[in-house]
Amino acid sequence: MKLLPLVWRNVLRRKVRTTFTVLSITVAFTLFGVLMAIRAAFDAGISVAGAERLVMLDRVSLINVLPIRYRSQIAATPGVADVTHANWFGGVYQDPRNSFASLAVEPASWLRVHPELVVPSSQRAAWLADRGGAMVGVETARRFGWAIGDRVPLQGTIYRRPDGRPWEFTIDAIYDGGDDSVDRTQFFFHQAYLNETIAAQTYGHDAVTFYVIKVADPAEAPDVARRLDARFANSPWETRTATEKAFVSSFANQIGDIGAIMLAVAAAVLFAILLVTGNTMAQSIRERTGELAVLKTLGFGDAQIAGLVLVESCLISLLGGVLGLGLSVAAIAAVGDPTHGMLPRIHLTQDDALRGLGMVMGLGVATGLVPALQARRLRIVEALRRH
């Protein structure tokens, strides 16, 4: 006798109960997939950030700017290999909901310090040569249907033109990334264009929001950070320098440890499903005690009986888990980006999908193990006497 048809008939024995069990697992793993996708989006910037890069901010607040003349002093500090800077622009496209990270940068040094931003050489050269040009991430370009050569107006929320008109940029370059951890939603343009347009003596003129510093030796990053902060101590613009990874992580965690929250919710849901599915399997085995005794009478060994129960449990878990992960991918694609570009692309990563499949099989084994052991220890005479 083939065992799989027997397992399948046992699964379909109580169709309503099996259906609701599979649906409960489906809901749990749909939620798991969505939560892991959101967690991956929050962690994207952190995972690509490196210990070889430092971020320098004003000591008091992110909204306070630093003088652009600090750049030469930073570059002359021992242990510094390269330096670049950025101004947080805060622009929106057409509608206040169409916001994304927009930064005024020095293009050549920004690309040197951030080699994970992949851009064709011809587009790179065009952007470097065009003072009014911009480089945009492929996700944002796809979102708004932008192409090379398009003129894009942005309304500044922090920096406004003196004439009150929107800022206009030409899309000279569209960047991608080497892997899914790279944020493909950002918008970069020339800091010189910003500086020459805003009036002198206004906020941000001849100043930057933060510096990004590449160190020669990542192992010396903490020492270089202390050296930089000591250089500007007791000045009108004191600084606070930390590794880029620490900066991005603390920035994301201002609203809480997103990763821990997502994992806690997913763990609670999966634990509840573990109890429900385990109870279903235990009840199913109790109902079939007499049948299992007959199978043992016909020559089925203890290991075969236990295997039947485990395979049945894993099959139910696999049906619900695979369906749930598939629905999570479909739901993410259907909803799109609910943050309107405030986070990198939300998607279920390959690692999380494989982790989910591993948890599906783990759930099947965990819920079927005790009933399988009970079935293995079943005594034929006692089972037939009770039934």
Q: Is the pLDDT of residue 257 over 60?
A: no
Domain count within the chain: 2
Question: What whole-number distance in Å separates Cα of residue 191 and Cα of residue 210?
Answer: 12
| One domain, residues 78 and 221 | yes
Q: Give the mean model confidence (pLDDT) for residues 292-313.
A: 72
Confidence of residue 255 (pLDDT cuts 50, 70, 90): very low
The pLDDT of residue 383: 52
In a domain, 246, yes or no: no
The pLDDT of residue 71: 94
Question: What whole-number distance in Å separates Cα of residue 257 and Cα of residue 266?
Answer: 14
Residue 255 per-residue DSSP state: G
Q: Is the pLDDT of residue 231 over 90?
A: yes
Of 315, 320, 262, 266, nearest in space to 24 by CA: 320
Give the tokens for residue 168: 């206009």
Confidence of residue 243 (pLDDT cuts 50, 70, 90): confident
| One domain, residues 223 and 262 | no
| One domain, residues 75 and 181 | yes
Locate all alpha helices (DSSP H) within the chain, ordered by sequence.
Answer: 3-11, 15-48, 70-75, 107-113, 121-129, 138-144, 191-197, 221-231, 244-252, 258-287, 289-297, 302-335, 350-376, 380-386
In a domain, 249, yes or no: no
Kindly report, residue by residue over 28-54, the tens digit of the pLDDT: 888 888 888 877 766 655 444 456 889
Written as one letter, the residue type at 270 is L
| One domain, residues 311 and 271 | yes
In a domain, 49, yes or no: no
pTM over 0.95: no
The pLDDT of residue 46: 46
In a domain, 94, yes or no: yes
Kindly report, residue by residue over 310-337, the tens digit of the pLDDT: 888 888 888 888 998 899 888 887 776 5
| Mean pLDDT computed over every residue of the chain | 81
| One domain, residues 280 and 379 | yes
Inter-axis angle of helices 302-335 and 258-287, nearest 10: 140
In a domain, 79, yes or no: yes
| One domain, residues 183 and 146 | yes
| One domain, residues 262 and 113 | no
Question: What whole-number distance in Å separates Cα of residue 280 and Cα of residue 288?
Answer: 13
Q: Is the pLDDT of residue 378 over 70?
A: no
Q: Is the pLDDT of residue 230 over 90?
A: yes
- Domain interval for residue 85: 60-237
Of 30, 191, 229, 41, nearest in space to 106 by CA: 191
Please, what is the end-to-end C-alpha distance for the chain in angstroms? 24
In a domain, 379, yes or no: yes
| One domain, residues 229 and 369 | no
Pairing of strands 102-105, 80-88: antiparallel
| One domain, residues 137 and 64 | yes
